[in-house]
Amino acid sequence: MSLTVWLTVRQAREALRTGRPEVARKLLDPFVSHGHKRAVAAVPEVARGYRLRGEQALRRDDPNAAWDDLLAAESLAPTDPDAAALRATLTKLGLAECRAALLAGNPLHALHTLARLKQRTAFHPEFEGFESAAREWVLAIELADRGDFPAAAAALDRGKSRVRPDVAAAFERFAADLTRRYDRCRSAVDRLYQAAERHGWTDVLRAADEVAEVAPDHREVRNMKARAWAALQSGGGNGVPAPSSHAGEVVELAWSPTRTVDPAPFAPTMTYPIARPASVAAAPAPQSARPVSSPGVPVGLPKRFVLWIDGVGGYLVCLGQRVGFGQATANGPVDVPLFADVSRLHAELTRDAEGYVLESGREVAVNGRAATRAVLADGDRVTLGSTCQFVFRLPVAISPSARLELVSGHRLPLAVDGVLLMAENLILGPEAAAHVHMPDAAGNVVLYRTRDGLGIRCPGAFQVDGRPHKDRGGLPIPCCVTADSFSFTAEPVGPRV
């Protein structure tokens, strides 16, 4: 046995000499686990081999490889001072990357970098300030896209106060851009409502397009845009614009009875209401504005829609049997686009006879274990890439519809609270065992598939786009549903979220 150990140690040292510490470790591990002294004595050499290779990777500007080798070295020799020095260098490099991302106006990249550093148990006193500042910046971007510029400015101010002056200058540049966007948005919204009061629907669409350039997720303006298209389709207004320029737009039929517009940039306390014009009536969206359905989805339905439930939140509803996850890019190919460090098409989740099957050729883990294919069970935690995580839920025992809850802080382009994978039905109700918990609802509200599209069933009277129903009715997309104890709107989602 001693000869075997001697030969193995010699082979391990040869592997170290040629820059292959992982081979040396694999050779020595069986003897180290049995306590052979020669093998145990060679372990610090293996740790040194990892560290030296990590230093070489750093000189080649490959910090990820350097981190991998450093972590391997530390697992073998936790108290090595040379490894501690390499860790300090890599941590400072990561901090510099975060600072550069913020200076370049890319807070998401800063958050991804910080998440990777935390996974590697790196620490620096500035991490907390950078992370909170980056999160506030991301929140400001989201609020500004929704048209809430005062709240966006407040979030940006909070973030700016948590970083050094050199980085704070980047926040100030973005704040100046917000001010310009806010001025344009306020002016265009005023013109939009003035046009709506005189039934100038073509002017409404022009103003809505101008708002979309600076606040693409402004829900109230999208409401007005949907009504303008409906009015023009029925022959009202002052002319019909070319519909092709608006194809694929997300529209909504809910009406907010009042709006507030701030007369001075970022002065949220100075507002004035503009009441709903009595002549602007709710109308269904024109058929030409409705998206073409995808394979496996009934004609007339989009592949995805967003469910906005008043007082509860928003959910992205996917109707297809196969759902793709990936990087949020313009015209991306995925159903669930993510602002995360993932591939353009990272993974797919398919509903079939086995249940929900997750498949990917990329970096994916289920409950901490790497997987290329896995059948998901209720409560499974799925990690896409290195940091993006969601929890898979089957909240209703009698329904195969699922809910995905993002738990890692990553976001979709739309500010939704989760993703619903709709099989035959979705249950919205006051009980915890529902796909969406609506605490104020008088009873369960069920959205279900029909031969022609979707339907809704709930106890009592309700309205769909202002038309009365009792107990059940059709659910066109887009639509607005109101009842005494709940209300929600459904908006189709086109090629991009």
pLDDT in tens, 211-235: 988 888 787 787 788 778 777 766 6
User: Is residue 43 a contact partner of residue 62, using CB atoms and an 8 Å limit?
Assistant: no
- Listed residue (324, 380, 328, 321) closest to 351, CA to CA: 321
- Band of residue 250 on the pLDDT scale cut at 50, 70, 90: very low
Q: Which comes out higher in pLDDT, residue 281 or 137?
A: 137
Last residue of a domain, one of 34, 67, 98: 98
Q: For residue 385, is it within any domain? A: no
Q: What's the CA gap between 52 and 73, in Å, rounded?
A: 9
Place of tokens 């009277």: 461
Residues 163 and 228 in one domain: yes
Q: What 3-state class would DSSP assign to 360?
A: coil
- pLDDT, residue 341, reads 84
Mark whether 457 and 406 lie in a shared domain: yes
Helix (H) or strand (E) holding 490: strand 487-493
Domain membership of residue 375 (yes or no) is no
Domain assignment present for 103? no
Over pLDDT 90: what percentage of the chain? 50
> Residue 106 falls within a domain, yes or no?
no
**Structure confidence at residue 331 (pLDDT):** 63
Distance CA 93, CA 99 (A): 10
Domain harbouring 337, CATH code: 2.60.200.20
Query: Which neighbouring-strand residues pair with 322?
Result: 350
Residues 317 and 194 in one domain: no
Q: Domain range for residue 229?
A: 148-289
Shared-domain flag, residues 155 and 75: no
Residue at 124 is within a domain: no
- Dist CA 450 CA 475 (whole Å): 10
What mean pLDDT do residues 370-384 have? 93
Q: Which helix (H) or strand (E) holds 40?
A: helix 37-59
Name the nearest CA neighbour of 104 among 170, 158, 172.
170
- On whether both 340 and 442 belong to a single domain, the answer is yes
pLDDT score of 295: 42
CA angle 454, 491, 247 (to 5 degrees): 110
Residue 273 and residue 317 in one domain: no
pLDDT category of residue 300 using cuts at 50, 70 and 90: low
Flag whether 405 is in a domain.
Answer: yes
**Terminal Cα-to-Cα distance of the chain (whole angstroms):** 64
Whether 322 and 283 map to the same domain: the answer is no
Do 285 and 308 lie in a common domain?
no
Specify the pTM: 0.54
Question: Could you give the number of structural domains in the chain?
Answer: 3
Using the predicted structure, report yes or no on whether residue 289 has a pLDDT greater than 60.
Answer: no
Place of tokens 């739309």: 414
Statement: residue 267 has pLDDT above 50: no
- pLDDT for 315 beyond 90: yes
* pLDDT digit string, tens, across residues 169-192: 999 999 999 999 999 999 999 999
User: Are 274 and 315 found together in one domain?
Assistant: no
Q: Are residues 283 and 308 in the same domain?
A: no
CB atoms within 10 A of CB 72: 20
Structural domain contains residue 66: yes
pLDDT of residue 117 exceeding 50, the answer is yes
Q: In angstroms, what CA-CA distances link 343 with 77, 260, 332?
A: 34, 40, 11
Question: Looking at beta carbons, which pairs linking 379-386 to residues 24 or more positions away fall under 8 Å?
Answer: 381/407, 382/358, 384/325, 384/338, 384/340, 384/342, 384/346, 384/347, 384/360, 385/340, 385/341, 385/342, 385/343, 385/346, 386/115, 386/116, 386/119, 386/341
Q: What is the pLDDT of residue 118?
A: 86
Torsion, Cα 215 221 223 226, to 10 degrees, reads -90
In a shared domain, residues 326 and 244: no
Confidence of residue 470 (pLDDT cuts 50, 70, 90): very high
Please, which pLDDT band fits residue 3 given cuts at 50, 70 and 90?
Answer: low
Mean pLDDT on 65-79: 93
Residues 310, 432 within the same domain: yes
Classify residue 399: in a domain, yes or no: yes
**Cα–Cα dist 474/464, whole Å:** 8
- In CATH, what number is assigned to the domain containing residue 73? 1.25.40
Confidence of residue 62 (pLDDT cuts 50, 70, 90): very high
